[in-house]
């Protein structure tokens, strides 16, 4: 992210470019089509600055380093994911997690789903047992030695909190 802060006029000017998706005060989001086009032109020998100028960007406005920085990042994405890297969101809410490296067959998906069901059933059974233990232990306390003892049901009658006296 650069130190350039765009004002309202500059934002409107940048957003009027068809290669721009949207602009905030501090960043420009380019369209996936422009990114793909720019990377392919760069692979064919055009420089980053030339690509941006030909597509209608003012380097004084966006900064002279912006084309080089963007194309470096886009080439990496293109080499790693191909054109799909620009068309699918891999961050935030749009992301579906780490994509599987291979397509699963119907049988493999069924096995995976059955394993998940078995895990969730075991987790549920564990939580039920834990809840039952907690319910059974309500009203019980332990002393320093770890010995468990229970308060009598009429504990509050035995010790009067208001006057601090033990009834006889």
Question: 67-120 pLDDT, tens per residue?
Answer: 999 999 999 999 988 988 888 877 766 566 666 667 888 998 899 999 999 999
Do 14 and 83 have their domain in common? yes
Do 25 and 86 have their domain in common? yes
- The arithmetic mean of pLDDT across residues 54-64, rounded, is 92
Q: How far apart are CA 144 and CA 134, in angstroms?
A: 20
pLDDT at residue 131, rounded to an integer: 84
Q: How far apart are CA 150 and CA 148, in angstroms?
A: 7
Do 87 and 37 have their domain in common? yes
pLDDT at residue 113, rounded to an integer: 93
Displacement of CA 15 from its chain's centroid (Å):
27
pLDDT at residue 3, rounded to an integer: 80
pLDDT at residue 163, rounded to an integer: 53
Choose one of 27, 59, 93: the last residue of a domain: 93
Name the pTM for this structure. Answer: 0.54
* Structural domain containing residue 118: 102-136
Cα–Cα nearest to 27, from 36, 39, 17, 14: 14
Do 81 and 132 have their domain in common? no
Distant-in-sequence, close-in-space partners of 19: CB < 8 Å, separation ≥ 6: 30, 31, 33, 34, 55, 56, 57
Using CA atoms in the order 137, 143, 148, 149, what is the torsion angle rounded to 10 degrees? -90
**Number of domains, the chain:** 2
pLDDT at residue 132, rounded to an integer: 82
Do 58 and 127 have their domain in common? no
* Residue 151 within any structural domain of the chain: no
Do 77 and 108 have their domain in common? no
* Residue 159 within any structural domain of the chain: no
pLDDT at residue 36, rounded to an integer: 94
pLDDT in tens, 114-160: 999 999 999 999 998 888 887 766 655 555 655 655 555 555 554 54
Q: Is 83 left (phi over 0), alpha (psi -120 to 50) or beta?
A: alpha
pLDDT at residue 140, rounded to an integer: 58
Q: Is 97 left (phi over 0), alpha (psi -120 to 50) or beta?
A: left
Do 117 and 84 have their domain in common? no
């Amino acid at each position: 992210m650069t130190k350039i802060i765009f004002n309202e006029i500059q934002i409107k000017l940048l957003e009027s470019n068809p290669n721009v998706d949207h602009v905030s005060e501090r960043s420009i989001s380019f369209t996936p089509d422009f990114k793909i086009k720019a990377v392919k032109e760069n692979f064919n020998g055009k420089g980053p600055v030339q690509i941006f100028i030909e597509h209608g960007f003012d380097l004084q406005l966006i900064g002279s380093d912006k084309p080089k920085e963007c194309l470096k990042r886009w080439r990496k994405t293109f080499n790693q994911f191909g054109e799909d890297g620009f068309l699918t969101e891999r961050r935030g809410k749009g992301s579906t997690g780490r994509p599987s490296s291979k397509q699963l067959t119907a049988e493999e998906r069924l096995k995976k789903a059955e394993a998940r069901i078995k895990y969730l059933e075991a987790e549920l059974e564990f939580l039920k047992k834990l809840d039952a233990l907690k319910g059974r232990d309500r009203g019980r306390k332990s002393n320093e030695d770890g010995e468990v003892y229970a308060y009598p049901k009429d504990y509050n009658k035995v010790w009067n909190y208001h006057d601090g006296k033990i009834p006889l």
